[in-house]
Amino acid sequence: MCRVGVGVPRQKKLNYYQRWRQSHKAVTIYLSPEEYETLRQLAGRVGLTFKDLLYGAAKDVKKLYEEVVHKYFGVDVDELKNECEAKIAKLREEYESEITKLRQDYEAKIAELRQECEKLEGKLGWEYLRGYADGENLIKSIVFKRCEVKCPEDVLKLLED
């Protein structure tokens, strides 16, 4: 008798509390006793619990950020975000067009070099087939003409040997 799934542990289902803890991130802050007392007294004066005071402060951070950006830069955060996204899109488009252009230039240069190589192979093959003795010298002369750096004479002598 064959039993399927033996030894494979089942996934444990999470209860509501475990799922809630997975989806919510914990934040821990350490306060000095003076800071803690100050916040607790402030919460008491406002009529909120300590927890509600901290939640409200966290929610107001975004509003405060938008006010500071508007006050010092004279721009709304959403406008600044949209402007930055437009610049990013424009730069991405320019980058893609430049890459496409470089790729096309590169492929054209490769095609040109391949044609030149095939032409030279045909010419050199014909020289060898006809039995010319200077076939090797022809190869060396073509290679050294294509070189940007001139080779010293002793290297040429070594190649001739």
Question: In whole angstroms, what is the distance from residue 138 CA to residue 132 CA?
Answer: 10
- DSSP 8-state assignment for residue 149: S
Its pTM stands at 0.36
59: tokens are: 């929610």
Domain ranges of the chain: 12-74, 75-130, 133-161
- Write out the chain's pLDDT in tens, 161 residues: 555 555 656 778 889 999 999 998 888 889 899 999 998 898 889 898 888 888 888 888 888 888 888 888 777 878 888 888 999 999 999 999 999 898 898 888 888 888 887 887 777 766 655 555 555 666 666 665 655 455 555 555 555 55
**pLDDT in the model for residue 107:** 87
Question: In whole angstroms, what is the distance from residue 144 CA to residue 150 CA?
Answer: 7
